[in-house]
Chain A
Amino acid sequence: MACFIVPATEAIVTTIAAKVLKKREESRKISRSGSTDEIIEKASFSRKLGWLNNLLWGGSALLALEHVWHGEVVPWFPFLTAASDPESKAEMLHEMSTVGVTMALLVTGVWVGMVVVSSVLEKKAAKLKLAENKK
């Protein structure tokens, strides 16, 4: 009915967070240009947040198309056909709080997994580089 609104709302928040984080990282990069290697390692979190943005925006956009296809989203006010009568509205809100929230949680969970794996790989690569430098 309108489950895609939940991940889309999360996408708005994470996009703003990514923009703010990117600006902060860029300013840190300029002020500490002496040790760029270290900064580059730490600066990658906004890029990782970009993965979540792509997952959430992409998924929400494609799901929105499905809702248009099934006539659940219309180009006139109130845009959601379920919002026109109270009974359907309650059903829509229930679906958003169950299916929508689960969608957002699953996508975020998968992203957390991706971040953990990439952090482990980064640490391994750093250790390897350190060992090579010692030789």
Chain B
Amino acid sequence: MTLLVTVFAAIVATIVWYKNSPKDDMKVGTLSLIYWGASLMWTVDAIFEYAELKEEYFNPAAQDMLNDFFLGLTVVALGLVIWLVILLVKDPKGVVKSALLSKKN
């Protein structure tokens, strides 16, 4: 479930990046790479888990699915926080810089 939620987040971020390309002022490309990186890593995790559990892998308990879904949402939120920090630090539009400078003036 965590893998699914992250893959959907990666797909949405990639669509948004593609729609705004070649302009990437909001650094959505970075966000999509963050989610794709996690998706690829969880895919490996899922393959190893499947090799161990076989068909049982596709029949998780409802409680486990809910827990994994919450984890997926938390992961998406953390990805957004990381992206926001990168965006504010790199400040490609100069918004933070101009806000700080106008306060000083």
Contact = CB atoms under 8 A, between A and B. Distances in A.
Interface of A: 3-4, 7, 51, 54-63, 65-66, 69, 98-99, 102-103, 106-107, 110
Contact of A103 (B35, B40, B78): B40
Nearest to A54: B33
Q: Interface residue tally of chain B, by bracket? A: 20 to 34
A107 B41 contact: yes
Nearest to A7: B41
B30 A3 contact: no
Given A51-B33, A55-B40, A57-B34, 13 more contacts: A57-B37, A58-B38, A59-B38, A62-B38, A65-B74, A66-B2, A98-B48, A99-B44, A103-B44, A106-B40, A106-B43, A107-B41, A110-B40
B33 A62 contact: no
Main secondary structure of the interface of B (DSSP, over half): helix
Contacts of B82: 58, 61
10 contacts: A7-B37, A56-B37, A58-B82, A59-B39, A59-B40, A61-B82, A63-B42, A69-B71, A99-B44, A107-B37
Interface centre among B2, B35, B40, B41 (most CB of A within 10 A): B41
Contacts of A103: 40-41, 44-45
A89 to B, nearest CB: 19
Contacts of B34: 54-55, 57-59, 61-62
A133 B78 CA distance: 48
Main secondary structure of the interface of A (DSSP, over half): helix
Given A55-B33, A55-B37, A62 B44 contact: no
A55 B33 CA distance: 5
Nearest to A102: B44
Contacts of A110: 36, 40
B75 interface: yes
Interface centre among A4, A58, A60 (most CB of B within 10 A): A58
Interface centre among A59, A62, A63, A69 (most CB of B within 10 A): A62
Contact of A62 (B30, B43, B48, B79): B79
